[in-house]
Amino acid sequence: MGLRTGLNESTPDRILIDAGAVYLNYGLTNERLLGATRGGNEFALNRVIRDIEVDGVMGSTKGLRRVTEVKPQLTCNLIELSLDNFVKSIAGSVQSALAKQTAIEGEYVAVGDTAKVNFDLDNDNIVPDTEKIFINGTELTRSKKYDSRFVGDNEADNKNFVLGVGDWVVGHGNDAIEIEAGGHDGNCMKYLAGDSAIEAFLTLAGGNGAQLTNLVVGEHYKVKIALKKGTFGTTITLSCDAGSKALIAPTTSWVVHVIEFVATGTDASIVLTGAAGPTDEDDLYVSNLELEKVDGDYVINWDEGEVIFPEDDIPTAAEYIVAGYTYYTGATATHDIINGGQIADSDYISNVALVGNVSGKDEPIICIVTDALADTGLTLSTAPRDESVPTVVFTGHYDPEDPDTEPWSIHYPRL
């Protein structure tokens, strides 16, 4: 009798070989290698299929089985322990720098009937989340940090102009916008007016949640934008739903503007309007955009030295406030600190992919878990004459906007 085997002429071209490499955000603009691994990697679907039992039937019945749980995981034995890898390996962790810290310092400022008060903050290296605000000696509650309202496929370009100007549109056909280097922080958007005087000259439409997450009526929000002019000299109004503030005419240096408002509708569109329409060839530069929810009694922006009070709790002229904070001293921080925290939407990685080789194929096989989070904890083990190789497990999560699609995919090469 001849030997029975599954070996055939195609077998050498269908074998998954070697350990492969792990990528974060595979195929996206912020794609990067996770780093070196040792001991291989594992992609597991972890699908649970349940039998619907029927009396008298002794086994599984065709048509009476359904998937009850899908929890795909990609397990990496990671030997390359960079700072970012540590942060990515601990769900909800936050990073800060460690250097010598001073005690709380105070800045005393009288307050009138304005929603914003500028502070003369002389120290640049503020320790995150250490600010304290007092009104007449009573400490206020600091606003929680919320996720950016910028979302969608063009999020990076709409907000930071990484590769282009995203979904921003001009108010007239003769106007033009383009990306430029040299923004307040990174790239910026250059607006060049056409030959028609118009008022609403730049708009980023809310897009019903496609570009900017919809607002919630009654909640507080802030909008931040940095502006610099070339020849554009008119006063500008920045608007977002109920928030509308006439800003000073832009200068030839970057100035950051922040407005706070209570939403009366859901449309998050951001609009820039000129007090007088720009004229032909007037140019303006836009950078450092942000839209986010705020709550509590105040929110502070250290870069601009600005405190924002919600509209229903603006200090009166008879009140005074004290701003306190802790700051770093010393030329160089000695360590980066990783601490735990609550899991935010920004902690989820768009995808984690195991990219491997298939014998006989030019293209790789790609095993992906989407909306991934390292949620199993981190263990560091050391041993003499050996290296630490912690196991990091990335778990995929369902997208609440697409609950029918399982959070994994396998891309098998044709070529």
pTM for the whole structure: 0.56
| Residue spans of beta strands (DSSP E) within 25-172 | 32-33, 37-44, 47-51, 65-70, 73-78, 94-98, 100-101, 105-110, 116-118, 132-135, 138-139, 169-170
- Please give the Cα distance from 87 to 110 (Å, whole number): 41
- Per-residue pLDDT tens over the stretch 229-254: 888 878 888 999 988 888 877 888 89
- List b or e across 72-88, with b for residues whose CB sees 16 or more CB atoms inside 10 angstroms: bbbbbbbeeeeeebbbb
Q: What is the pLDDT of residues 310-359, one digit of tens each?
A: 766 777 767 777 777 776 666 566 777 888 888 888 889 999 999 999 99
Q: Which CATH number fits domain 11-94+342-411: 2.30.110, 2.40.50, 3.30.365, 3.30.60?
A: 2.30.110
CB 363 within 8 A of CB 407: no
Please report which confidence band the pLDDT of residue 76 belongs to, taking 50, 70 and 90 as the band edges.
very high
Angle (CA) 285-287-288 rounded to 5° is 160
Mean pLDDT of 19-44: 93
- Who wins on pLDDT, 45 or 309? 45
pLDDT in tens, 256-270: 888 888 899 999 999
Domain ranges of the chain: 11-94+342-411, 155-294
* CATH superfamily assigned to domain 155-294: Galactose-binding domain-like (2.60.120.260)
